């Protein structure tokens, strides 16, 4: 297994590299984002620190995913906020690990994401379409009949979760946990408001169905998801 460690902190890299090597991983390290895209085709898994000196880690993650559907990406970051985690995953990361972490857990996740991506095969499209509504998960964009619709970050996150469920019910608790990080009364009301706004903005009131007491689902199965 070939691993590319993108980490600007020398102390972290110098501790991690031999620890990973002892566990059978072939590790290369870059101390910045520059050069990462050149190595995408030569490694199996990229461990990506979000806080890099020369480039926004989220932007780089998106570029890596655009360059290759095969390489697995684990975002490794000190940022633990739920929004950052979602941002990383939406940018195409396969997993997310918050520092400090256990090396054995990291190695377990490296093997897991590699397995998942190998099972899935290359070339996930990163977008889905239903009833003229198209969602680009990588670019965080939604268009209706080709016309861009401006959604807030949370509106996009809520809609993306419902779409990614492919017509299955997306439970309220799951959306609340992923998007708000908690499921109190205020968040529950806010979710209702966000869905109502989505229906209006998309101009497709029946696209998102309410499953009373459970959650939401799309009124059909979207195309384009792998
Ligand atoms: Ca850093």
Rounded to two decimals, what is the model's pTM? 0.54
Cα of 161 vs centre of ligand 1, distance in Å, is 29
What is the structure's pLDDT at 226?
A: 54
| pLDDT at residue 117 tops 90 | no
What is the structure's pLDDT at 79?
A: 67
Radius of gyration of the chain (CA): 19
Full set of structural domains in the chain with CATH: 2-119 (3.40.50.2300), 127-218 (1.10.10.10)
Residue with the two structure tokens 């977008």: 127
**CA 108, 65, 1: angle at the middle one, nearest 5?**
35
| pLDDT at residue 30 tops 90 | yes
Cα of 31 vs centre of ligand 1, distance in Å, is 9
User: Of residues 15 and 170, which shows the higher confidence score?
Assistant: 15
Strand partners, 72: 45
| pLDDT at residue 21 tops 70 | yes
Q: Is residue 142 a contact partner of residue 151, using CB atoms and an 8 Å limit?
A: yes
Strand partners, 120: none
Mean pLDDT of the chain: 87
User: pLDDT (tens digit, 9 = 90+) per residue, 183-216?
Assistant: 788 889 999 999 999 999 999 989 999 988 888 9
Cα of 38 vs centre of ligand 1, distance in Å, is 20
Cα of 9 vs centre of ligand 1, distance in Å, is 6
What is the structure's pLDDT at 118?
A: 64
Cα of 72 vs centre of ligand 1, distance in Å, is 20
Percent of the chain whose predicted confidence (pLDDT) is above 70: 93
What is the structure's pLDDT at 182?
A: 72
Cα of 184 vs centre of ligand 1, distance in Å, is 34
Cα of 49 vs centre of ligand 1, distance in Å, is 6
């Amino acid at each position: 297994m070939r691993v590319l460690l993108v980490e600007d902190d020398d102390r972290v890299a110098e501790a991690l590299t031999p620890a990973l090597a002892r566990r059978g991983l072939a590790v290369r390290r870059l101390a910045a984002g520059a050069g990462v895209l050149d190595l995408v085709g030569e490694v199996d898994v990229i461990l990506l620190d979000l806080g890099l000196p020369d480039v926004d880690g989220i932007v780089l993650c998106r570029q890596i995913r655009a360059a290759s559907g095969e390489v697995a990406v684990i975002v490794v970051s000190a940022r633990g906020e739920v929004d950052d985690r979602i941002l990383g995953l939406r940018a195409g990361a396969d997993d997310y690990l918050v520092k400090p972490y256990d090396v054995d857990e990291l190695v377990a996740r490296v093997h897991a994401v590699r397995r998942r991506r190998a099972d899935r095969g290359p070339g996930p499209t990163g977008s889905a379409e239903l009833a003229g509504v198209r969602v680009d998960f990588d670019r965080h964009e939604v268009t209706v009949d080709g016309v861009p619709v401006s959604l807030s970050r949370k509106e996009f996150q809520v809609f993306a979760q419902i779409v990614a469920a492919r017509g299955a019910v997306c439970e309220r608790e799951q959306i609340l946990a992923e998007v708000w990080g908690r499921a109190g009364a205020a968040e529950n009301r806010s979710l209702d408001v966000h869905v109502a706004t989505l229906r209006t903005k998309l101009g497709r009131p029946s696209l998102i169905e309410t499953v009373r007491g459970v959650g939401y689902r799309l009124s059909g199965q979207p195309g384009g998801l792998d």
